[in-house]
Structure 1
């Protein structure tokens, strides 16, 4: 066991939602809403997800009359203006709860809608976001039930991304921020593999890489615990088998969803997070280009892991066990190879130079943004996370 894990005990303060999983689990959505006293939930969904009958109809039907209007206006940009529009729709429809339907973008915007719906002064909240990049979270929030349709693992968390640009009239320059508070954790999460199966193959594959990397980081991050070790290892063992099938004729949606639930369990806690270097690189890459988060992870993860293993143990043996690496194999090389195999099985990008709007001249800026990301604090002690060191990783991925 590495020296940064468990040597002096640990604290695991996690406040998860009720989790419901199964085929046609959406048929029980009404029971989850009823458990939290919700009679008219505003359904917050993407511009596509919220209008596709195969997705929205099972949700509305399963809510058993406990949904009001469908607000199908979220986009991957996670815009503050979208959240403000959603909060206004919440008021207009006399809603008393929120259902977040879709991928990470919809779930993040839904959390912002929830915070703004409960705010006594939305104008002040917008000013605070413009000044600090952090949207205030009121003490009391309406109930939230999430119904994920991707495998990004953005469900069991109390943080959300949010941004605004000068076009909104709120800021003079773009602000990339979000909101974070333990009270933002959903009250319930409903996982239906049938809904996940409706997501386009390419979108689902990219989201799967994002979720998969959450399990990888949960094992080596400084804030790892025996609890997260157990869930992440089981989740990774499911995902390494299930994810490559998503591009085939017999997709293992059920195991992919089970694995995604497990790898994110306990990684977002009031006093800790296990997101680390791979996710920090993801932020750096998406800040400086239009690359999607999952595609960014696909390219950078093998190189980031190789860099970590060159400089410290980083629990390579535990990762090797979780990923089914042969005991006779060099654990570090085996883990990198296993992660690469999952990436390739999902048919995701492999080089930064193939991303249209990333140039060689951008690499230093990407490294600097990554080095300044708060998630690098979760990298094991003693590993250099300076911009100069991380630029070597980005160039290796180039």
Structure 2
């Protein structure tokens, strides 16, 4: 029995997700679900590629039926504050009282921020000044427009109360480039539709990278400082499901039947990780932030490279959820840490993702000290396992091992 289990745990689990709809063609029920949320007209918020892909956009607009107010297909990976304001303008133009975010995390974040902007009584100058000074935007006490989410990737951003956003001087909203985000329970979507048929339309490389990000959410929930018996259960089951299901994403074509068990695992990975009292994201996601902050590395690719080394480091230093990982990966010898690390490596390799930093557009060794400082300064490090006292030298050593 682990030290954590033997000692017992007191915990508070305040988690209030919206309605969860799962299954192929589940988006056909968008209209009745929005009806239960008192939404009369919904604006679909998505990116240009998704908006121009009939296999994705058509089932959503058909599912909305008479409740379709319009389609805003202008989100970008930059998650711009100006785009969120454009969504607010489109809501007014189309007389929309609700939002449907369709696509990846960028569309979800922009729609979430737009819901905050639509509910605030402050003018744009006041909001922009606050964002420039603090990197965040206050959420008003007024009810936000209802938000339904239809994800088309596997990163697992849809059951979250956090939204990232950026602004640049070109928008006229800020004087210097600014990045930040909003965190508030009101940002948790009111309904989420996990539809394998729509996810299967996403190009395989994008699915593979996003799946690694989603997989690591479950991985980190096994050892996070504020893990609970509830997240232990969902994370362990998630890892077991994903270990069997993810290899199907390693080859083309990817079918809805391939995607369905993966979506199930990603849903379990997300459950309870974004709560008012904190998140279970930890060391791997801190590395992900540090590597993608100033380098052209995709988040899932960064996770794929770092995760095995991070798990090896944690298991050497602390317990790091060893018992749960042994159970999830069905490791025969509970003392064999290498087998746990190998299980993570097998997932990465099955997805066809890079295994070395030198093979992506990341930092050179000369920059590792700076990256290590960003890792240690990341807010997710507050969730590192009990007993871990990571040093800059140790983080640099881990980066060197990953290089």
How far did residue 112 of structure 1 move?
Answer: 0.6
Task: Name 1:362's counterpart in structure 2.
Answer: 367
How far did residue 250 of structure 1 move?
Answer: 6.3
Establish whether residue 127 from structure 1 lines up as the match of residue 126 from structure 2.
no
Cα deviation, 1:290-310, whole Å, max 9, x if unaligned, reads: 111111101111111111111
Q: Pick one of 157, 164, 171 that aligns with 1:161.
A: 164
Q: Which runs of 5+ in 2 are unaligned?
A: none
Is the 8 Å Cα contact of residues 152 and 198 (structure 2) preserved in structure 1? yes
For the residue of structure 1 that corresponds to 2:72, the secondary structure is strand
CA distance in structure 2 between the partners assigned to 1:243 and 1:26 by the alignment: 23
Task: Name 1:384's counterpart in structure 2.
Answer: 389
Is the 8 Å Cα contact of residues 232 and 263 (structure 1) preserved in structure 2? yes
CA distance in structure 2 between the partners assigned to 1:106 and 1:331 by the alignment: 42
How far did residue 14 of structure 1 move?
Answer: 0.5
CA distance in structure 2 between the partners assigned to 1:166 and 1:362 by the alignment: 28
Counterparts in 2 of 1:339 and 1:357: CA distance versus 1, 3 Å: closer
Structure 1 stretch displaced more, 166-175 or 379-388 = 166-175
TM-score normalised by L of structure 1: 0.96
Is the 8 Å Cα contact of residues 150 and 207 (structure 1) preserved in structure 2? yes
CA distance in structure 2 between the partners assigned to 1:105 and 1:18 by the alignment: 21
Establish whether residue 260 from structure 1 lines up as the match of residue 279 from structure 2.
no
Counterparts in 2 of 1:250 and 1:157: CA distance versus 1, 3 Å: closer
Q: Pick one of 340, 349, 355 that aligns with 1:350.
A: 355
How far did residue 109 of structure 1 move?
Answer: 1.1
How far did residue 329 of structure 1 move?
Answer: 6.1
Task: Name 1:214's counterpart in structure 2.
Answer: 217
CA distance in structure 2 between the partners assigned to 1:261 and 1:8 by the alignment: 25
Establish whether residue 113 from structure 1 lines up as the match of residue 119 from structure 2.
no
How far did residue 259 of structure 1 move?
Answer: 0.6
Structure 1 stretch displaced more, 381-390 or 369-378 = 381-390
CA distance in structure 1 between the partners assigned to 2:158 and 2:254 by the alignment: 25
Structure 1 stretch displaced more, 266-275 or 383-392 = 383-392
Counterparts in 2 of 1:315 and 1:92: CA distance versus 1, 3 Å: same
For the residue of structure 2 that corresponds to 1:129, the secondary structure is helix
Task: Name 1:276's counterpart in structure 2.
Answer: 282
CA distance in structure 1 between the partners assigned to 2:172 and 2:399 by the alignment: 35
CA distance in structure 1 between the partners assigned to 2:314 and 2:201 by the alignment: 37
Counterparts in 2 of 1:303 and 1:311: CA distance versus 1, 3 Å: same
CA distance in structure 2 between the partners assigned to 1:335 and 1:173 by the alignment: 45
Task: Name 2:150's counterpart in structure 1.
Answer: 147
How far did residue 361 of structure 1 move?
Answer: 2.3
Cα deviation, 1:17-47, whole Å, max 9, x if unaligned, reads: 1101011101111111111011111111112
Q: What RMSD in Å do the two structures reach over aligned CA positions? A: 1.5
Q: Which runs of 5+ in 1 are unaligned?
A: none
Q: Count how many residue pairs are aligned between Structure 1 and Structure 2.
A: 397
CA distance in structure 1 between the partners assigned to 2:386 and 2:221 by the alignment: 15
Task: Name 1:299's counterpart in structure 2.
Answer: 305
State how 1:177-188 maps to structure 2 within 5 Å.
177-188=180-191
Structure 1 stretch displaced more, 192-201 or 103-112 = 103-112
Establish whether residue 375 from structure 1 lines up as the match of residue 376 from structure 2.
no
Task: Name 2:52's counterpart in structure 1.
Answer: 51
Cα deviation, 1:83-122, whole Å, max 9, x if unaligned, reads: 1211111122111001010111111111111111111113
For the residue of structure 2 that corresponds to 1:48, the secondary structure is helix
How far did residue 126 of structure 1 move?
Answer: 1.7
For the residue of structure 2 that corresponds to 1:44, the secondary structure is strand
For the residue of structure 2 that corresponds to 1:198, the secondary structure is coil
How far did residue 7 of structure 1 move?
Answer: 2.0
How far did residue 4 of structure 1 move?
Answer: 4.5
> Runs ≥4 in structure 1, deviation > 4 angstroms?
none
TM-score normalised by L of structure 2: 0.95
Is the 8 Å Cα contact of residues 288 and 362 (structure 1) preserved in structure 2? no
CA distance in structure 1 between the partners assigned to 2:119 and 2:337 by the alignment: 48
